[in-house]
Copies of this chain bind each other. A is one copy, B any other.
Amino acid sequence: MLVKLKIKYIQTLGQKKFREEEGVFIAEGPKLVAELLRADNAIVKEVFALEDWISGNQGVIGKTPVTEITAPELERISQLTTPNKVLAIVQQFDTTRTIETTGKITLVLDNIQDPGNLGTIIRIADWFGVEQVICSPDTADVYNPKVVQATMGSIARVKVVYTGLAEWLREEKTVSIYGAMLEGQNVTSMKKINEGIIVFGNESKGISPELAELINIKLTIPKKGKAESLNVAVAVGVVLGSVSL
C-alpha cells in the first residue's frame, strides 16, 4: 500500500526543482527499470510495482526495496499516459567529473529543447559508442521523465554533463571541434574520425553565433530534396553513422 504522503512525494519528482533537491529521478516500465537495476553504475533506491512484475523479476530486484502497489495506485504516481507495471526512484548520476576528450568522440548539445530529442540523442550516442554528451545549461533536463523514457535505458550508460559551452570549448585545445551546420564539408564523404567534439544546435535556431565561432570544421548533411530541415536527433544519427563507423 502507498501512503498519501509517498504518492505526493513521487508526484513532486515530476518537477526539476524537486528532483534536484532530492538528487533522484523517476524511471518507468519493465524494460527501463530492469535495465537500470542491472546497470553497474545506476543506484535504484526504491521500486513500486504490480504483483505480477515483482514475481517475475526476483532475479534483477536483488536487495532493492520494493513496494507492491495496485494498478490504481500506479496510475496516481505514474507520469506516463499508459502506466506500465513498475516505477522506480533512481539516484541521479554523478556528472561532476572532469570532461576528457582525447581518443574519443564527444557530443555537444547547444540548447536542445525537446525532451524526446534529447532522450533519442542519448540512445543514439549509446548505439554508436559515444560515452559522453555535454549540454548547455538551457538544454532540456536529462532527468525529465520524457527524456528518461526516450533514452530506453541508455541514460545508465552515457555520461551527460551540463556546462557553459563557450567557456569550456574556449579552453578545449586538444581535439578538433566539429559542428553540424547548413554549409560545410559533406559529412557522408569525409574520412572517419576517432576523436573530436561534434556540436549540434537548437531545433530551430541551430548553433548559437557565440559557439559557431569556435567550430574548427563545419559539417553538412547534403540535401537532395526539398524538406527545410532534418530533425536534430536524425541529424546526430546521420553524422555519427557517417564519421564514426
Contacts and interface: CB of A to CB of B under 8 A. Distances in A.
Interface of A: 116, 120, 123-130, 152-154, 157, 186-189, 221-231, 233-238, 240-242, 244-245
A242 to B, nearest CB: 6
Contact of A224 (B116, B123, B127, B224): B127
Given A120-B231, A231-B120, A231-B233, A188 B226 contact: no
A244 B224 contact: yes
A188 B231 contact: no
B230 A237 contact: yes
Given A127-B223, A152-B229, A242 B241 contact: yes
Given A224-B129, A231-B233, A241 B244 contact: no
A226 B242 CA distance: 19
A230 B123 contact: yes
Given A234-B234, A238-B238, A242-B242, A125 B188 contact: no
Given A231-B233, A245-B188, A245-B189, A225 B128 contact: yes
26 contacts: A116-B116, A123-B227, A123-B231, A124-B227, A124-B230, A127-B223, A129-B225, A152-B227, A153-B228, A154-B227, A157-B227, A187-B241, A188-B242, A189-B245, A221-B245, A222-B245, A234-B234, A234-B236, A234-B237, A237-B237, A237-B238, A237-B241, A238-B238, A238-B240, A241-B241, A241-B242
A71 B54 CA distance: 49
Nearest to A241: B238
A228 B153 CA distance: 9
Nearest to A127: B227
A228 B152 contact: yes
A157 to B, nearest CB: 6
Contact of A226 (B120, B157, B233): B157
Given A229-B152, A238-B237, A224 B188 contact: no
- By Cβ-Cβ distance, the 5 closest A-B pairs, closest first, are A129-B224, A238-B241, A126-B227, A129-B225, A234-B237
A169 B129 CA distance: 35
Contacts of A124: 227, 230-231, 234
Contacts of A234: 120, 124, 233-234, 236-237
Given A127-B224, A188-B241, A233-B233, 4 more contacts: A128-B224, A129-B225, A152-B227, A189-B245
